[in-house]
Structure 1
């Protein structure tokens, strides 16, 4: 659930950035889809209204997914760090008797004299 919500959130953020960059700025410097006269199916006023509404819907969706991600991520109760987990001993207890030394192995090649 959290992964799906995160992917949707990222997609909304990318589309929101694109829509904001498409809007005509007050100075007209970054406006890609707005200037010029006639010829288009939409007037510049209609395109501005559409982009403004799209920005508002995307911004509301972005805020909603942000809140949902905060709620979903707060429901995890398991520790997230190995330092939070108490140490457990899985090894068998060592014997108190000393280990017997192994017999020396025979050399595989004769030693030079």
Structure 2
């Protein structure tokens, strides 16, 4: 059941994206600039693409709520904290051995016997 609703949900999402991209641009994104469009011009006549967008949006929200309800029913009676306490304790690992003094990547300190600059002999 969950897989069927999930597949329908994904198809609705793709269809909704396609319908929105196919619609004519009104210009003046978010009602700014572009003069006279958007919220200032009043409500325009509903087109077939606009109605289809509303239908797909309502169906998408419905499948979203349905998936949420199904997921809540599947997890009823169990808690994340219950799963954590039931899990076995992780095995302790020993810290890796420190490298020898000659294998270090740090430059020698001022107190070391090694010269700081190479000498040409």
TM-score by length of 1: 0.52
Say whether 1:75 aligns with 2:76. Answer: no
Determine the C-alpha separation between the residues in 2 that align with 1:73 and 1:11: 19
Determine the C-alpha separation between the residues in 1 that align with 2:83 and 2:57: 38
Tell me how large the CA RMSD over aligned residues is: 2.7
Larger radius of gyration: 1
Determine the C-alpha separation between the residues in 1 that align with 2:74 and 2:25: 43
Provide closer, same or farther for how the CA distance between residues 86 and 51 of structure 1 changes in structure 2, counting only shifts above 3 A: same
Task: Please report how far the alpha carbon of residue 3 of structure 1 lies from its aligned counterpart in structure 2 after TM superposition.
Answer: 1.1
Task: Please report how far the alpha carbon of residue 76 of structure 1 lies from its aligned counterpart in structure 2 after TM superposition.
Answer: 1.4
Q: Which runs of 5+ in 1 are unaligned?
A: 29-45, 88-113
TM-score by length of 2: 0.49
Q: Which runs of 5+ in 2 are unaligned?
A: 29-44, 89-121
Cα offsets for 1:32-85 (capped at 9, x unmatched): xxxxxxxxxxxxxx9x71101100100000010011011000001356796353
What count of residue pairs does the alignment treat as equivalent? Answer: 69
1:42 aligns to what?
Answer: none
1:65 aligns to what?
Answer: 63
